[in-house]
Amino acid sequence: SYELTQPPSVSVSPGQTADITCSGDKLGDIYSCWYQQKPGQSPVLVIYQNNRRPSGIPERFSGSNSGNTATLTISGTQAMDEADYYCQAWDSNTVVFGGGTKLTVL
């Protein structure tokens, strides 16, 4: 079965850029999405189709996907961005999530 691999944790200073990676075999050949989840809340879609932002998602969130790696980039990271982030892709008609990355803003 298809697997997506994320680093368990990433730390960033306020105002700096955070990059969260997601690796999978030929991931760049398919669309990837990213979700933000804060404690006690439901996940929120922040990136779809590799690099598109839903309405209401700040411009500091961007994405890329090439080769075997998709990347979520948060520019000018704010304290409110501290959360768990999950990548997601499709494998045939099933959905696969990465294990999640805890972003700490310190």
69 to 88: interface string for another protein, x by CB under 8 A: ---------------x-x-x
Distance CA 48, CA 45 (A): 7
Distance CA 89, CA 40 (A): 24
For residue 66, give both structure tokens: 């090439």
Size of the site for another protein (CB under 8 A): 26
Cβ distance to another protein smaller for residue 15 or 99: 99
Strands 101-105 and 9-12: parallel
Cβ distance to another protein smaller for residue 13 or 90: 90
- Which residues of this protein are in contact with another protein, per CB under 8 A? 1, 31, 33, 35, 37, 42-45, 47-49, 54, 84, 86, 88, 90, 92-100
